[in-house]
Amino acid sequence: MKLEEKLKSVRRSPWVFHLNSGSCNACDIEILDALTPYFDAERFGVKLVVSPRHADVVLFTGPVTREVLPKVIRALRAVPRPRVVAAIGSCAVGGGIWWDTYSTIGGFPKLQEILKRYGVEIDRVVYIPGCPARPEAIVYGLLVALGYVKQKVSKVVKTVES
Amino acid sequence: MQVNRIAAPLKLLTIAFKTGRVTKKYPFGPPLITEAFRGAISIDPAKCWGCGACVLVCPPNALDIIFEKEKIVIEYFKGRCIFCGMCADTCPANAITVTKEFELAATNLEDLKEDVVHRVSKCAVCGKPFAPAAELRDVMKMHPITEEYANICPDCRRKRTARAFGMRFGASI
């Protein structure tokens, strides 16, 4: 419950930092689209900042290439607590079409295991699938991260009757 | 010059008023989604055979097939799906449909998974599980194969055919 109290202070105007970890730029363009007046994420106080030290939410894109891994760890360590990460796009969520290549780590879940070893804790992660994720999906994901709306999806198990 | 300096912003104002408000009211209103938009897929368990054609064609391996002792599970992981719709094109039973669902944000990875569990039918001769029961059921509907022939695993069927041939040519098996 402590995290919820901390998030309440962030909720009014979350400042976002855009962290690209080797993405193809499609998700990055959609993030820009979400911030433009057309989809206007600034209605909820979302503002793009240039330093991770100023950020409340990190908009994370890309499958984390090996080259960018140390820089990503440094950037995420610089984010003040509570750290909220929004993993955007199928690359960041599950590795995407680079799920088994040699040169990528394979998305944010794999990165989180590495971050644990380095002592960098992530307080909340929200996964936003999509290739690329729609601007509406990004806005919806941010609202889920901050606790404005409840998430729609849950694990489904279907059994075939025969 | 000074008139221009005042008139230029006024021109912008007229453009702005002519355009009006362009912002979509998305969380409070309908989303901007076109006819051609492809979202998450949904698998109809009443039609699915468990053949695994969608697993072979999926580019990011978002669909996976797992063979267990008494069941076959088709796992769909929305997080890795690139929403290409190739599985819906290849599905021989038309069990996969592409929906317009895009609000898939989740705080837990497990919430993005979807399982379709198939029962495996056993061979009538040796009792070894060999094929999903739904596939056998639908194949028998499509082709006039008797149930006695279809519910036998490939190994047993091969042995039976060999024995039949042998008997024809006078071998004592």
**φ and ψ of B131, to 5 deg:** -150, 150
Q: Which of A90, A144, A152 sits opposite B81 (nearest CB)?
A: A90
Which residues in chain A have Cβ-Cβ distances shorter than 8 Å to B99? none
Give domain status of residue A162, yes or no: no
Give domain status of residue A34, yes or no: yes
Strands (E), A78-129: 84-88, 124-128
For residue A104, is pLDDT > 60? yes
For residue B147, is pLDDT > 80? no
Q: Which residues pair with A156 in a beta bridge?
A: B114
Q: In chain A, which residue's Cα lies nearest the Cα of B47?
A: A160
Q: Do A139 and B26 touch (CB under 8 A)?
A: yes
Give domain status of residue A160, yes or no: no
Q: How many CB pairs under 8 A join A and B?
A: 152
More confident site: A153 or B1: A153
Give domain status of residue A152, yes or no: no
Distance from CA of B164 to the nearest CA of A (A): 32
Angle, helix A135-146 to helix A26-35, in steps of 10 degrees: 70
Which residues in chain A have Cβ-Cβ distances shorter than 8 Å to B63? none
Residue A18 pLDDT: 94
Q: Do A140 and B103 touch (CB under 8 A)?
A: yes
Q: Are strands B63-67 and B71-77 parallel, antiparallel or unpaired?
A: antiparallel
Distance from CA of A58 to the nearest CA of B (A): 14
Residue A11 pLDDT: 66
CA dihedral B23, B27, B30, B36 (to 10 degrees): 90
Q: What is the mean pLDDT of residues B58-68?
A: 91
Q: Residue A56's domain spans which residues?
A: 2-146
Q: What is the mean pLDDT of residues B71-92?
A: 92
Q: Which residues pair with A47 in a beta bridge?
A: A15
Is A105 in contact with A69 (CB distance < 8 Å)? yes
For residue B87, is pLDDT > 90? yes
Domain count, chain A: 1
Specify the CATH number for the domain of residue A91: 3.40.50.12280
Q: Answer whether B100 touches A (CB < 8 Å).
A: no
* Average pLDDT value over all residues in chain B: 87
Q: What is the mean pLDDT of residues A141-153?
A: 86
Residue A32 pLDDT: 92
pLDDT, tens only, B109-145: 999 999 999 999 888 888 888 888 888 888 888 887 7
For residue B171, is pLDDT > 90? no
B133 closest CA partner among B121, B122, B123 = B121
For residue B3, is pLDDT > 90? no
Q: What is the mean pLDDT of residues B36-61?
A: 91
Q: What is the mean pLDDT of residues B77-82?
A: 91
Q: Do A139 and B27 touch (CB under 8 A)?
A: yes
Residues whose CB is less than 8 angstroms from the CB of residue B71 and which lie 6 or more positions away in sequence, other chains included: B117, B118, B119, B120
- CA–CA separation, A129 vs A60, rounded Å? 12
Residue A71 pLDDT: 93
Residue B163 pLDDT: 86
Angle, helix A108-117 to helix A69-77, in steps of 10 degrees: 70
The structure tokens listed for A8 are 């309440």
In chain A, how long is the greatest CA-to-CA distance?
57
**Could you tell me the CA-to-CA distances from B73 to B50, B57, B92 in Å, in that order?**
8, 17, 18
Q: Do A157 and B117 touch (CB under 8 A)?
A: yes
Residue A10 pLDDT: 67
Residue B172 pLDDT: 64
Give domain status of residue A154, yes or no: no
Q: What part of B 8-47 touches A (C-beta under 8 Å)?
A: 22-24, 26-27, 31-33, 40, 43, 45-46
Residues whose CB is less than 8 angstroms from the CB of residue B102 and which lie 6 or more positions away in sequence, other chains included: A130, A133, A134, A136, A137, B31, B33, B37, B39, B40
Is A23 in contact with A131 (CB distance < 8 Å)? no
Residue A127 pLDDT: 93
Q: Do B82 and A96 touch (CB under 8 A)?
A: yes
Which residues in chain A have Cβ-Cβ distances shorter than 8 Å to B133? 160, 162
Which residues in chain A have Cβ-Cβ distances shorter than 8 Å to B114? 155-158
Residue B133 pLDDT: 87
Q: What is the mean pLDDT of residues A89-93?
A: 91
Q: Answer whether A32 touches B (CB < 8 Å).
A: no
- CA–CA separation, B148 vs B124, rounded Å? 8
Residues whose CB is less than 8 angstroms from the CB of residue B2 and which lie 6 or more positions away in sequence, other chains included: none
Residues whose CB is less than 8 angstroms from the CB of residue A28 and which lie 6 or more positions away in sequence, other chains included: A18, A20, A61
For residue B173, is pLDDT > 60? no
Residues whose CB is less than 8 angstroms from the CB of residue A150 and which lie 6 or more positions away in sequence, other chains included: A144
Q: Do B80 and A43 touch (CB under 8 A)?
A: no
Q: Which of A38, A107, A158 sits opposite B24 (nearest CB)?
A: A38
Is A3 in contact with A107 (CB distance < 8 Å)? no
Q: Which domains does chain B have, with CATH numbers?
A: 34-168 (3.30.70.20)
Which residues in chain B have Cβ-Cβ distances shorter than 8 Å to A154? 111
- CA–CA separation, A142 vs A48, rounded Å? 13
Give domain status of residue A116, yes or no: yes
pLDDT, tens only, A12-71: 788 999 999 999 999 999 999 999 988 888 888 889 999 999 998 999 999 999 999 999
